Chain A
Amino acid sequence: MTTAAVVDTVAPTGEPATAGPRPGGLGDLRTYNPLVKILGPVPVMVFLVTTRDVLTPALVALAAIAVLAVMGRLRPRVLVAVALGALALCLVMTFSFGLLTDPATVQDTTLLATVGGFDVWSGALATGLATAVRTVALLMLVLLGGLTTSGADFVRALTQQARLPYRIGYAALAALRFVPRFSHELEVIRGAHRVRGVAPGRGPFAAVRRQAGYVVPLLAGGIRHAERVSLAMDARGFGAHPRRTDRVTAPFRVCDVVLLVSFWAGGAGCAVLAALLR
């Protein structure tokens, strides 16, 4: 078995190889290049962090949710959860950050209520709302790429387009298989500790002590397993050649450039619209 086969059989989702557009076409955000989806909105995020009003981030958040709804191809339940979550986050943050606001700076606004010794000023709530909407907008831009891109796809795009050495990329993909291995190892260590009576006793303190006792053996077992895997990889000639082929490709096409430009145009458009409406 070649190293390519080793890593490919351990790929978690077993996606089909894609040399061209996947089913779903241009309207499916999942077919776009992961680098564009993850790193494309970063300039918009940096701009958002510098804003202090409510309207600009609100427009950006709405635009991101709209794109996610139309092009995200999410299950309806996930989409509803995202929309409701954003709304709930907004409400909770308005109050929690409103309470954290320095009362001295908002004394000239109206006192709305007193909750358990805390005075709720309208100015404080306005500051809280701005922070809340800004955070929600940032979160939506993160989810735009996050919900439609798996970590493994991003790694593939990094090795294929961003010149990341493929040995590093494939080490990360192989590490995904360590996770089930850890849970097996944990069972073994737990059993061994129980047999030898390590950290016996009942109650929360004994439980914490027991759990803490698992950490070092688990890490040591994991690292030793990794060393055996590395021997197997070396024996099969992993990294012998400067370049390698990939079973799953992450193409960078014209539509990816269009998406990148439209991210920036969308951000600029929201800023201009907010300035016009103000």
Chain B
Amino acid sequence: MKTLTTRFLMTCAAIGAAMGVLLIPANFVSAPLAASAPMAYAPLVGLWVIGPVLALALLRRPGAAVLTTFVAGVVSSASPVGAWSIVTCLLAGVAVELAFLVTRYRVWSAWLYYVDALVFGALYVASGWAAFHMDAMAPAVLVTFVVLMMGSFLACTWLGRLLARRLAKAGVARGLVPSRGDVAAGEVAQDALR
């Protein structure tokens, strides 16, 4: 709770609100699109990871992705699926957050974001596999579908990181990000304790 300052909470809320506004039309479009033209729906799935990736890359604090997606879900609940958007958004946030949790929030390199996108993408395809009975589809269709989805996750991860870089350059959230010196000092202190 100590790291959960009001400033951090509200910064995540602002990013989440922006992502939520983006997701309201996506919520309306995705269901009919997934039904009528699954190929056109596949590139859209990445929209759900822009927010959490942006928040993590900008703030570099535990919980940023989950908080951002939670707020995004609340804001985007102004659609027919209502409060369900909170659940779907949180799933994306938890998936993005997990990779950083596993590495104990020590690694913030670009590769981790992309590995995360690939693993999350694979899990998402696997869940869609059961729901859409994808083992009955033609192989060429399957390959296109998987490539489009993975490409979407990777492209949106890239976009989220790009936006975070631009925002950091504009001086946003300065003082909120644990600086490298602090992290190093913390590690030294922990090593000394051992």
A residues sitting closer than 8 Å to B (CB atoms) are 34, 37-39, 49-50, 52, 89, 92-93, 96-97, 100-105, 127, 130-132, 134-135, 138-139, 142-143, 145-155, 165, 167-168, 171-176, 178-179, 182, 215-216, 218-220, 222-227, 229-231, 233-234, 238-239
In the complex, chain A residues whose CB is within 8 Å of the CB of B172? 219-220, 223-224
- A93's closest neighbor in chain B, by CB? B35
Contact across chains for A145 and B70 when beta carbons are under 8 A apart: no
Question: Taking the nearest CB of chain B, how far is it from the CB of A44, in angstroms?
Answer: 14
Pick 6 A–B contacts, CB within 8 A, sort by A: A38-B86, A49-B131, A102-B139, A102-B141, A151-B78, A182-B18
Contact across chains for A127 and B133 when beta carbons are under 8 A apart: yes
Q: List CB contacts (< 8 Å) of B1-52 with chain A.
A: 1, 4-7, 9-18, 20-21, 31-32, 34-38
In the assembled complex, the Cα of A220 lies from the Cα of B173 at a distance in Å of: 9
Known: A154-B77, A154-B83. A52 touches B133 (CB 8 A): yes
In the complex, chain B residues whose CB is within 8 Å of the CB of A171? 6, 9-10, 12-13, 67, 71
Most chain B CB within a 10 A radius of its CB, from A52, A97, A223, A231: A223
How many residue pairs between the two chains, A and B, have CB atoms under 8 Å in the bound complex? 191
Checking A101, A167, A227 against B137 with a beta-carbon cut-off of 8 angstroms, the contacting residue is: A101
Contact across chains for A49 and B130 when beta carbons are under 8 A apart: yes
- Asked whether any CB of chain A lies closer than 8 Å to the CB of B170, the reply is yes
Contact across chains for A146 and B81 when beta carbons are under 8 A apart: yes
- Asked whether any CB of chain A lies closer than 8 Å to the CB of B105, the reply is no
Interface residues on chain B, size class:
35 or more
Q: List CB contacts (< 8 Å) of B119-156 with chain A.
A: 130-133, 136-139, 141
Contact across chains for A96 and B36 when beta carbons are under 8 A apart: yes
In the complex, chain A residues whose CB is within 8 Å of the CB of B5? 230
Interface flags for B75-108 (1: CB within 8 Å of A; 0: not) read 1111011111111000000000000000000000
Contact across chains for B10 and A151 when beta carbons are under 8 A apart: no
In the complex, chain A residues whose CB is within 8 Å of the CB of B16? 172, 175
Contact across chains for B133 and A131 when beta carbons are under 8 A apart: yes
Contact across chains for A219 and B167 when beta carbons are under 8 A apart: yes
Question: Taking the nearest CB of chain B, how far is it from the CB of A132, in angstroms?
Answer: 8
- Asked whether any CB of chain A lies closer than 8 Å to the CB of B177, the reply is no
Most chain B CB within a 10 A radius of its CB, from A37, A92, A165, A179: A179
Contact across chains for B70 and A172 when beta carbons are under 8 A apart: yes
Contact across chains for B130 and A216 when beta carbons are under 8 A apart: no
In the complex, chain B residues whose CB is within 8 Å of the CB of A96? 35-38
In the assembled complex, the Cα of A100 lies from the Cα of B39 at a distance in Å of: 10
Question: Taking the nearest CB of chain A, how far is it from the CB of B69, in angstroms?
Answer: 11
Contact across chains for B137 and A100 when beta carbons are under 8 A apart: yes
Contact across chains for B170 and A175 when beta carbons are under 8 A apart: no
Contact across chains for A100 and B138 when beta carbons are under 8 A apart: yes
Contact across chains for A172 and B11 when beta carbons are under 8 A apart: no
Most chain A CB within a 10 A radius of its CB, from B14, B84, B131, B172: B14
In the assembled complex, the Cα of A105 lies from the Cα of B76 at a distance in Å of: 41
Checking B4, B38, B138 against A167 with a beta-carbon cut-off of 8 angstroms, the contacting residue is: B4
Question: Taking the nearest CB of chain A, how far is it from the CB of B108, in angstroms?
Answer: 19
In the complex, chain A residues whose CB is within 8 Å of the CB of B9? 167-168, 171, 230
In the complex, chain B residues whose CB is within 8 Å of the CB of A173? 74
In the assembled complex, the Cα of A243 lies from the Cα of B71 at a distance in Å of: 21
Question: Taking the nearest CB of chain A, how far is it from the CB of B103, in angstroms?
Answer: 24
In the complex, chain B residues whose CB is within 8 Å of the CB of A219? 14-15, 18, 54, 163, 167, 172
Question: Taking the nearest CB of chain A, how far is it from the CB of B169, in angstroms?
Answer: 9
In the complex, chain B residues whose CB is within 8 Å of the CB of A226? 10-11, 13-14
In the complex, chain B residues whose CB is within 8 Å of the CB of A130? 133
In the complex, chain B residues whose CB is within 8 Å of the CB of A179? 17, 20-21, 75
In the assembled complex, the Cα of A153 lies from the Cα of B83 at a distance in Å of: 8
Contact across chains for B82 and A151 when beta carbons are under 8 A apart: yes
Contact across chains for A172 and B137 when beta carbons are under 8 A apart: no
In the complex, chain A residues whose CB is within 8 Å of the CB of B133? 52, 97, 127, 130-131, 134
Q: List CB contacts (< 8 Å) of B58-80 with chain A.
A: 67, 70-71, 73-78, 80
Checking A50, A178, A215 against B17 with a beta-carbon cut-off of 8 angstroms, the contacting residue is: A178
